[in-house]
Amino acid sequence: MTRHAKNSHSSPFFTYHEKSMLPYGTKKQRLGAESFRKFDACMLCNSTVRNPCACSDGHIYCRECILESLLSQKKLIKAHQDNLERRSKEEEEEKAKAREDARERVLRDFERTQSGLGAKVGGSSTTGTPSGNASKVEGEERGQKRKFELDQADIDRMATEAEDAALAKIEKEQLEARKAKLPAFWLPSLAPDAGIEKIKAIKMETMCQASEHPHPLSIKGLIPVKFTPLPTSSSSTAGSSNPTASMCPSCSKELTNSSVSILIKTCGHVCCKACVDKVVRPGKQCVTCDSRAKEKDLVELVRDGTGFAAVGKAEAIKQETAFQ
């Protein structure tokens, strides 16, 4: 045996084979044609579509599957709205309780100050001449007595400032009290409280989840799809193994993942891209039912590909923790 054969794994860096065996980092795997979704398969149940319909981006669904998905999304949205309302109500109650505690703190400190049992709380003293517009001076002559006036707006402002100062002091005292506790988190009585996590707001509309970037989708936005079935004799002659195969109504070619198919929104018929470019676009009408077909009415149906590198997604990626 050669020297390199005996020391094949003593290199300071990983070979391609060694790196592929590591259970760390991002894993990539080439996909074959058998791993792709069939052309006429539902995006949700992955079986041949029954009563097919499509969204505005060309994703095909069974009508039953997509309706069930939209209804479940509506239920989740309703539950999320209820959670948001409940959490907002709890936050308002917590703020009202904290404000009430601060108001009681201000009154208690004021009573202690007036009775001479305690010192004044900074920012909560109401004696003396208030600043701002609390005092109004009538006349500008020297030696004239000033008339003190205090309206309701000034009283409310001063009370709010005192409550804010007391609330900040209460929060500071609570923080210091938590720091002074014994950090025995394993005891049930001293277990830390993470608090209630704030619920994030989401879009309150049903979405099409078939693509990487979901887009809004409603029941009214579903487009019915009418496939032209491939005759049994033609499919057996062409060697097709799919008994429910579809074809282009113009050129009678089978529609697969290797061909680009176009859906006409006005009537629901599906044709291949070659026939659409040669017949439908110039005439602006469907080749089957002669219905109107403008450029905005043509939707390219989504296909997974054939397994070749140039067509479709041919690689699956799984992200894991990087090797260190």
pLDDT on residue 164: 81
What is the C-alpha separation between 204 and 224, in angstroms, rounded? 25
Beta strands in 55-121 (DSSP E): 60-62
Secondary structure class of 58 (helix, strand, coil): coil
DSSP states along 240-263: ---TT-EE-TTT-PBP-TTS-EEE
| pLDDT of res. 135 | 46
- Half-sphere exposure in the Cβ direction for 211 (13 Å, CA): 17
H or E element: which one contains 22? none
Residue 126: predicted pLDDT:
43
pLDDT in tens, the chain (324 residues): 455 566 666 777 778 777 777 777 787 777 777 778 888 899 999 899 999 999 999 999 999 999 999 999 999 999 988 888 888 888 888 888 888 888 888 788 777 777 765 544 444 444 444 444 444 444 445 556 666 666 777 777 777 787 788 888 877 777 776 666 656 666 666 665 555 566 666 778 899 988 888 899 999 999 999 999 988 755 554 555 566 788 999 898 999 888 899 999 999 999 999 999 999 999 999 988 888 999 999 999 998 877 676 665 667 788 877 755
Q: Which residues contact 310 (CB under 8 A, 6 or more apart)?
A: none
Is residue 296 classed exposed, middle or buried when 0-12, 13-18 and 19+ CB atoms within 10 A define those classes? exposed
Report which residue type is found at 130: P
Rg of the chain over all Cα atoms, to the nearest angstrom? 37
Which pLDDT does position 152 carry in this prediction?
74
- Give the E-state strand segments of the chain in sequence order: 27-30, 52-54, 60-62, 207-208, 215-216, 223-224, 228-229, 246-247, 261-264, 270-272, 298-300, 315-318
Question: Which tokens hold the place of 154?
Answer: 């000034």
Is residue 229 within 8 Å of residue 248, measured between CB atoms? no
For 80, list phi and psi in degrees, rounded to 5. -65, -40
